[in-house]
Structure 1
Amino acid sequence: MIYKNVLFFIMMLFNLVCSAQSVPISIPVDSLGVKNKTQIQFKTKQLIIPAVLIGYGIIGIGNDQLKSFNNQIKEEVKENIDKKFTIDDFSQYLPLASVYGLSAIGIKGKNNFRDKTVIVATSYLIMGIAVNSLKRTLKVERPDGSGFNSFPSGHTATAFMGAELVYQEYKDVSAWYGISGYLVATGTGVFRLYNNRHWLTDVIAGAGIGILSAKAAYWLYPSVNRLLVSKKPTNKKTTFIPYYDGKQVGFGLVSTF
């Protein structure tokens, strides 16, 4: 019975996310990201799905009924699953890798490498700060008792952030690229439950944070781009490399003159 309930919630999560993609974000960017102003179409309803997912997770921390459901999942996992799979440690990065991988095999996305990297780095920074701040503030114990940093799921947030980035970059080519990314992201969340590393509320909130982080990166792109682009011609080149080691998030900076 509990597996049917879990499946229902996971399918609900996937359907909610996919339905949200009917709202476009338009970002025409020139080849250098300098000559033309980047235009972003923002609509308030784009916030609905991430807000619902994050809200569900936060409410679940103190709601007795949702906590009881979390515990039912935990007991089912302990009783019926003996072997753990660490595929989620790798699958969390697969959608993000696809943002560049699809370009590498000749599928042209919305933005060039430079602009895409700025957007990826911005979304990664937003996601990392949000996830780690909540983990350290709320200190929710993991189902397996291994720590007090369960909420929200960083693996799930990373996977859904990548899925949203894939969708936004390649939806004009085919929406199936984004849908495939979301399938991988959903599978990552399922394995976090399967491995008894997270509560369902952690996973759902992580999905919302990941999606919102990616969307926010596109909304913030014009402002971030202005900070990175000099008004005067220069031979100086700067590259930002994001990093996240599970505890800290930040950037590496490489400059050439």
Structure 2
Amino acid sequence: MKISINLLLLVSLCVNITNAQFTELPPTKVQFKRSKQTERKKSKRNLFTKRVIPFTLIASGILLSTSDFEKSLQSDIRGYAGDNFYLNIDDYTRYAPILQMYAADIFGVKSRNHWFDQTKNLLISSVVTSAATTILKQEVDKERPGDPTKLNSFPSGHTSMAFVSAAVLYEEFIDSSPLLAYSGYIFAITTGSLRMMNNKHYLSDVLVGAGIGILTTRLVYHYEHLISWNPFKSDDDIAFAPQFTGDSVGLYFSKSF
């Protein structure tokens, strides 16, 4: 199996198109309350410290990939879940932290950033993560556990996007609401676990996907001062809400003049 030595570089530099879409018709006319933003606290942890967890996840995934241990583990998981087990809620749990974030904004929970900056950071993190994941899938050509004809197992795209969502929620609310901030990781871990139970990915695929998602998001937030543009920061007449239509995920917003 080919593992690119530029793995971490791809995580932070590559750009791709995310699957968010904008639609004209709103699902509901919801207007955000002007939530107070928390003052940015200077963390005692530097960027290197914040990278420890994602680097550990990525390194562990690389070491475990194609090992006898992960193949045995996958066999045990399927034996426990059953050969016919399949639950597609992992298609939705990866987006749950995003809904949590916007719901918290609607109810006025203090956040680190304005909703536009939240969305901007989410989209950039998603784009870069999607690019890194797609490139690695094509370069590595690892067989999926449930279908050896599909050579796109490494890393898990569902898991990487789930951890992007969870990491954005964490960054926005860790100072004001730690319980809310950490809760997104429950959905992310659930997504990764279901990818294995559904026989779609091995453990290494999930670990590397999680590491890429967290690392990318933390880098985006670390350098967010470089992309501080926000045309809506002083605007009250904004309606904004996430939208789901069939298999698509989008964002609806409008401005009153």
- TM-score, scaled to structure 2: 0.69
For 1:206, give the aligned amino acid.
G
Larger relative contact order (CA 8 Å, sep ≥ 6)? 2
Aligned to 1:169: 172
1:125 aligns with 2:137: no
Runs of 5+ consecutive residues of structure 1 not aligned to the other structure: 1-30, 230-240, 242-257
Aligned to 1:224: 227
Residues 181-224 of structure 1: per-residue CA shift (max 9 Å, x gap): 11111111111110000000011111111111110111221222
Retained in 1: the 8 A contact 2:74–2:203? no
For 1:71, give the aligned amino acid.
K
CA distance in 2, matches of 1:40, 1:160: 24
Retained in 1: the 8 A contact 2:78–2:197? no
Runs of 5+ consecutive residues of structure 2 not aligned to the other structure: 1-34, 232-241, 243-257
Aligned to 2:181: 178
Provide the aligned C-alpha RMSD in A: 4.0
Q: Aligned residue pairs: how many? A: 211
Aligned to 1:196: 199
Alignment of 1:84-95 (within 5 A): 84-95=86-97
Indicate the SS of the match to 1:159: helix
Indicate the SS of the match to 1:152: coil
CA distance in 2, matches of 1:224, 1:133: 25
* Bigger proportion of residues as helix: 1
Aligned to 1:21: none
For 2:199, give the aligned amino acid.
N
CA distance in 1, matches of 2:124, 2:182: 22
1:140 aligns with 2:157: no
Inter-CA distance 40–134: structure 2 relative to 1 (3 Å threshold): farther
- How many percent of aligned residue pairs carry the same amino acid? 33
Aligned to 1:71: 71
Alignment of 1:23-172 (within 5 A): 42-61=46-65, 67-80=67-80, 81=82, 82-145=84-147, 147-172=150-175
Indicate the SS of the match to 2:224: helix
Residues 2-41 of structure 1: per-residue CA shift (max 9 Å, x gap): xxxxxxxxxxxxxxxxxxxxxxxxxxxxx9x9xxxx9976
For 1:72, give the aligned amino acid.
S
Q: CA deviation at 1:78?
A: 4.1
For 2:187, give the aligned amino acid.
V
Retained in 2: the 8 A contact 1:142–1:198? yes
- TM-score, scaled to structure 1: 0.69
